[in-house]
Structure 1
Amino acid sequence: MRKRYLIEVTDKNQASVFCPPSLLKDHTIKRIAFGGQSIEANIIPHPEKRERVVFGKSIKEALHFPDYRVPLHLFIENQTLFIGPLIGIFTAGFTPFPLRPIGDRSLFFAKLLSVKKTVGALPFVFGEQHIDWENGLIKAYFYHDNGWEITEVPFPNVIYDRLPNRKTERSHVLQKVRERLQKDYLIPWYNPGFFNKLDVYERLVEDSTVSDYLPETFPFTSFSNIEALLSKYGHIYMKPFNGSLGLGVHQILYDKHEDFYFCRYRDHEDINRLRKFSSLESLFKTVFGNKRLDQMLVQQGIHLLKLDQRAVDFRVHTNKDDQGNWKVTAIAAKVAGPGSVTTHMKSGGVIKTPEEIFPLQDSENYSARLSEAALLLSEALEKQMEGIIGEIGFDLGIDREGKVWLFEANSKPGRSIFTHPELKEFELMTRKLSISFAIFLTEQSIYNPEEIFK
């Protein structure tokens, strides 16, 4: 574990920076940096040999350093002492209300920022409207002492992308902001972009380490393709390429004895439906109407493990830690609501721990298989997708034979599983690693920038 140091700002207007003597044994330091701000300074050993960095008001103001008494990490390179990391969390949807500056997501961000002392970093939230390009400063939203504060800080060492949805992400203005901060200012940007289901499948199916986890999947082209899959598997799923929260998912089943088709889905009134049709054509005409089928994918049906005749799948979170290694941070079972095509809570789904619904030996076995799959899939996605990925939420299933299947990978996973009281500690772990991964990226950008910007 890296060592962290308290940064102390004194009322004295001293020109020197006192530094832990141990850091000055092997280094000559002539500058001090915080985020994107760097100034020349007289850096000398602390006279009392204390393991902290001490400077006065003038240096605090020159660095735009917010004195929140958080132990931070120190990095030394090119005769510069870097204090940090300063982590910008980029999002949209700000409001004029001081108690809820990011609307309904204010509580999520407050909890995310509250890990700063345990992680040893200074995270803040900002949007494109808060950037002062001319002076290289940002009006940053910090959460401190149970309240929101706006403080001007330099550009951050690293940026964590938490844009709320695909529509916002497609904004030309926000895309330009990201491009400029990455290319002109060389700021590592992690977790960019929402995954497209078909894109993920097509990239992973070529990777022999994980292709066995993938159900047969292809874009909708014709009824004959669906007929072929139905005769092979008995049921299939149709999903939007860019769907989320289970919206737009349809299960189509074929009863070969009765020669009837069934469609299970959630309608626009949020009611779970199961309808019967004599032909595939009449099913599509009635259920899909004028919907764009060229934006849908078709996926083989899997006979999942069940609890009380209700399908069970799993949400598995993985995060990169402060060493840049993938970790499984949470596993939850999701039990489908009565008559629901998905296990989402909005459709009546229920969150359980694996231990609640399976005997201990089975739950340990299933958790081990899910963890192995999630780590292999995380590494494969990291290789195959553009950008720096720091967290993934996987929707995985286990069939009656015990085989693991990947249904979906989410680059900005939801947090609904953490409403379960026994998953609170894992919720904290996902927050801590979401921020501590930025420590690793900061270190890499200082010592090995070619690894980050290759």
Structure 2
Amino acid sequence: MLKSKVAVQVTSSGILPEDTVMLGEAYLKSWKIPQGQPVTLKFGSMRQPVKVVAVEKFDGMRIGQSLARRMGILANCQLRLQYRSDTSSLALGPLIGILISRDDPSMPDKPFGSITLFCKELVDACAVYGAHVYFFTPDHIGSSSNIVEGWVYAGGWRKTFLPAPDVISNRLTSRKLENKPSVQQYLKEVKSRYLTAVFNEKFLDKSEVFEALKKDASVGKYLPESHVLRNYTMLKSMCSKYHTVFLKPVRGSLGKGIIRITRLEQDSYLAHYAMVGGTRKQQFTNLLKLFSSVSGKMKSVRYQIQQGLNLIDIGGRPVDFRALVQKNELGKWVITSIVARTAGSHHFVSNLARGGTLSTVREAVAKSNLSSAQGHDAPGRLQRAALDIANGIDTHIPAHFGELGIDLALDSNGRVWLLEVNSKPSKNDNTPLEGQKIRPSVRNLIRYSRHLSGF
């Protein structure tokens, strides 16, 4: 089956009726596309019988305005084209839908807030690689799964109606939105009815990840001891085993709500609470008093208790690493980027939202308290760990993921540890530090979408 990228031109409907498309003569000859007989034009979930007219010395495709409107194409674009003689179908694509949390039509230059630049970068990359992308929110999902209202870019951000896409990347950043019955019903319908591929289908809970990966011998070496905190006995057991433990909200993000517990002399304990402006400390004369203060929170927040690690630091500020792993055009996990994140001066978590700073892995390791012998090949070891963990998630968690943010750490002996896995990696803080026009993370999203849709 031949595949090719073609320039699709939109012409006025007076010249070209909805049931006719014009195509360069070379395509008709090489693919033996019948002239004058109806073929089915496919674009996402749209199916339209059309006649194909050959055009001499023309290397593209022309469609009328009314057909372009049905397809949600508002301007000339580049798309992949396939002809299948067994079904007499001419498919254009891939049509990619990005499901995002919110939009703001009153801000036409920045309708998607802080991720608008990422969205525009994706539009530009689709023009280069041959694809069409639109952006939609749960509010855009209507009663019919065949059509969705979405944002496209055509000289500016504009709303239009489009067919259900070939591929959906779920970028919803809230569980509440993701679990809306209308969203779940829509995703279920497009998967079964139009064979739409949906990746990053769901959020990952910390406890779910660690429980799943414990089953994998190749990944176990990266896992600090970790349990869902259910009672005082478990807290006591972990605190007697480790000098420091961490309590992490099972559904937390951006370092919110993390508590670091350190055992002091005479069995007193110091708790550090991660706050937006810095760290709050509180000392307890015994563990029972500490548990009493936490147990109130446990009514509304499930905590994971995790072995404390002696992480490398730069001048007393802990360092960890965010690996972005994505699937490529072969459907295989690859490392897109790994960056080091150094905690802000009054924090023990490294999130950029809390004053953390980015650097390359080599820079951070060289500046850290890790010896050069233990720091040798740290980038390679972090990469291997990230790929092992991504493959472990694929094997042991029954959901489809195409990209993951994997937070890793190195301890003072140079050993790699997993901190957490994020199925909705930020589009603001994983940027590789080279100034490229189209980031590798955006290219990989399109490559994987082509792999999933067969374009």
TM range, normalised to the smaller chain?
A: 0.7 to 0.9
Q: TM-score w.r.t. structure 1 length?
A: 0.87
Q: Does 1:76 align with 2:76?
A: no
- 2:273 aligns with 265
Separation in structure 2 between the aligned mates of residue 348 and residue 241 of structure 1, nearest angstrom: 23
Q: TM-score w.r.t. structure 2 length?
A: 0.87
Separation in structure 1 between the aligned mates of residue 240 and residue 25 of structure 2, nearest angstrom: 71
- The CA deviation at 1:294 is 6.9
- 1:179 aligns with 188
Letter in 2 for 1:385: I
- Residue 348 of structure 1 is aligned with which of 339, 343, 355? 355
- The CA deviation at 1:396 is 0.4
Compared CA separation, residues 403 and 2, structure 1 to 2 (3 A): farther
| 2:441 partner SS | helix
- The CA deviation at 1:166 is 1.4
- The CA deviation at 1:402 is 1.5
Q: Does 1:218 align with 2:227?
A: yes
Q: What is the percent sequence identity of the aligned residues? A: 27
Comparing 289-298 and 175-184, the one that deviates more: 289-298
Q: Does 1:190 align with 2:199?
A: yes
Comparing 12-21 and 244-253, the one that deviates more: 12-21
- 1:412 aligns with 424
Compared CA separation, residues 312 and 58, structure 1 to 2 (3 A): closer
Q: Which stretches in structure 1 are left out of the alignment for 5+ residues?
A: 445-454
Separation in structure 2 between the aligned mates of residue 67 and residue 124 of structure 1, nearest angstrom: 12
Compared CA separation, residues 263 and 135, structure 1 to 2 (3 A): closer
Letter in 1 for 2:422: N
Comparing 28-37 and 133-142, the one that deviates more: 133-142
- The CA deviation at 1:443 is 0.8
| 1:323 partner SS | coil
Residue pair 1:75, 1:443 contacting (<8 A) in 2 also: no
Compared CA separation, residues 83 and 266, structure 1 to 2 (3 A): same
- 1:438 aligns with 449
Residue pair 1:18, 1:46 contacting (<8 A) in 2 also: yes
Compared CA separation, residues 2 and 315, structure 1 to 2 (3 A): farther
- The CA deviation at 1:205 is 0.8
Residue pair 2:278, 2:346 contacting (<8 A) in 1 also: no
- 1:53 aligns with 61
Separation in structure 1 between the aligned mates of residue 145 and residue 318 of structure 2, nearest angstrom: 55
What RMSD over aligned residues (CA atoms) do the two structures have, in Å?
2.8
- 1:109 aligns with 119
Residue pair 1:142, 1:150 contacting (<8 A) in 2 also: yes
Q: Deviations over 1:239-297 (max 9, x none)?
A: 11111111111111113x44321111124x74402332221111233455444387111
Separation in structure 2 between the aligned mates of residue 367 and residue 278 of structure 1, nearest angstrom: 42
Comparing 409-418 and 299-308, the one that deviates more: 409-418
Separation in structure 2 between the aligned mates of residue 335 and residue 58 of structure 1, nearest angstrom: 54
Q: Deviations over 1:10-42 (max 9, x none)?
A: 443263431462564355462221221122223
Compared CA separation, residues 276 and 327, structure 1 to 2 (3 A): same
Compared CA separation, residues 76 and 324, structure 1 to 2 (3 A): farther
Letter in 1 for 2:443: K
- 2:322 aligns with 315
Q: Which stretches in structure 2 are left out of the alignment for 5+ residues?
A: none
Separation in structure 2 between the aligned mates of residue 296 and residue 35 of structure 1, nearest angstrom: 42
